[in-house]
A and B are shown apart, each in its own frame.
Chain A
């Protein structure tokens, strides 16, 4: 079982704001990174560290963290943002890495 917990599915109206969360005890000590994965494609890093975006990722993607919860926020969701989103961090030991179970985002 995953040490990082995500809601299985979330929906958002086109142009609205959506927050995807990731919960886990290790998030009190480590930042989460976030990945977008579309069907048949490899994951793509969208947020890492405190709130950093790799080159080429739109600024509508942002990250935050509080206590044991990390969040990915999409401000003004677009149709192309419909995808699976995964959080990733270290486990409580700090030696192993772990992914959340993933959240399927539907843009209505």
Chain B
């Protein structure tokens, strides 16, 4: 079964760090482009970052310089390292698989909640 399972969310103080993981099954992470998308409580979806199969990475302006997307091919897992966290980073974070050949996300994880608060 094709599946994504996020983990690593939790409560962190402003200025702190957190690393999210997204374990994939049923397909190979490195063969697809993968993204992180977040959703603040009661708000809409916000694209955060993407990593392409060739390794190129891009970030939303709101997280550039603070967040880093990466993958571990041996573990078939996607990561999001989040540093210098702010209250406005509070959200459910989803990982999603890019649909081959199209700009679309066909597989989504269930999401992991990140709360930035003192």
CA distance A52 to B46 in the complex (A): 23
For A44, what are the chain B residues with a Cβ–Cβ distance below 8 Å?
Answer: 108
Say how far A63's CB is from chain B's closest CB, in angstroms. Answer: 11
Interface of A is mostly: strand
Output the residue of A42, A43, A98 with the most chain B CB within 10 A.
Answer: A42
Say how far B27's CB is from chain A's closest CB, in angstroms. Answer: 15
The segment from B13-21, B71-79, B81-89, B97-105 found at the interface with A is: B97-105
Q: How large is the interface on B (under 10, 10 to 19, 20 to 34, 35 or more residues)?
A: 20 to 34
Pairwise interchain contact A88-B106, C-beta atoms closer than 8 A: no
Known contacts A101-B44, A102-B44; is-contact A89 B106 (Cβ 8 Å): no
CA distance A34 to B50 in the complex (A): 18
For B47, what are the chain A residues with a Cβ–Cβ distance below 8 Å?
Answer: 88, 96-99
Does A33 interact with chain B (Cβ within 8 Å)?
A: yes
For A86, what are the chain B residues with a Cβ–Cβ distance below 8 Å?
Answer: 44-45
CA distance A43 to B104 in the complex (A): 12
- Residue in contact with A43 in the complex, picked from B61, B94, B103, CB distance below 8 Å: B94
Does B35 interact with chain A (Cβ within 8 Å)?
A: yes
Task: Given contacts A45-B99, A89-B103, A96-B61, list 5 more A-B pairs with CB under 8 A.
Answer: A31-B103, A35-B45, A43-B108, A86-B44, A95-B58
Q: Which residues of A contact B (CB under 8 A)?
A: 2, 30-31, 33, 35, 37, 42-45, 48-49, 52, 54, 84, 86, 88-90, 95-102
The 9 A-B pairs of least Cβ separation, nearest first, read: A48-B104, A33-B104, A102-B44, A42-B108, A97-B47, A99-B45, A49-B102, A95-B58, A48-B102
Q: Can you list 8 A-B contacts with CB-CB less than 8 angstroms, sorted by A residue number?
A: A31-B103, A43-B108, A48-B106, A88-B45, A88-B47, A95-B58, A96-B59, A102-B45
